[in-house]
Amino acid sequence: MVTRMRQIALAAALLPACTWAFSADFDGSRALVCATVDAHACDAGEVCLRDLPDGFGMPTFMHIDFAKKTIAGPKRTTPIRFIDKGKDQVLLQGTELGYAWTIALSQADGSMALTLVNREDVFVVFGYCIPP
């Protein structure tokens, strides 16, 4: 557990520092590896809980393949059903395990916000992406 927390802390520390060199790579033209670093779980009428993504069953690392329109984690691969390339961000959407999800990826620095939602609860995850 301590080793995993060190890996996450290292990824959180290094990824923001590295992304400036790859800013042109966040427009959806290249595959990306993303590290999730912070997560929140919310239920209606309750205070949201905060934990590491792994604590909520989220993958620590994901691979986004824009050409194949897939996102792969350590346990499963899910199709990207919708991609919107805007001026400042790329939006990705899909569904998996009864949840609809959206990823908003900054074209400037590779930071991302991910939401997973169903009628009972919502998960919000933050992280960073870099080219593999």
Nearest to 1 by CA among 60, 43, 49: 60
Residue position matching structure tokens 């060190």? 6
Looking at every residue in the chain, the average pLDDT score rounds to 86
Confidence (pLDDT) at 3:
54
19 falls in which pLDDT band (50, 70, 90)?
very low
In whole angstroms, what is the distance from residue 54 CA to residue 123 CA?
12
User: Where residue 83 falls among pLDDT bands split at 50, 70, 90?
Assistant: very high
pTM greater than 0.85 (yes/no): no
Residue 100 neighbours by CB under 8 Å, 6+ apart = 93, 94, 116, 117, 118
Which DSSP letter does residue 74 get? S
DSSP character string of 29-56: SS-EEEEEEEEEEEETTSPPEEE-GGGG
Q: Is the pLDDT of residue 122 over 60?
A: yes
pLDDT at 20 over 70: no
Structural domains in the chain? 2-130 (2.40.128)
Give the pLDDT score at 18.
47
Instruction: Give residue-wise pLDDT tens across range 47-80.
Output: 999 999 999 999 999 999 999 999 999 999 999 9
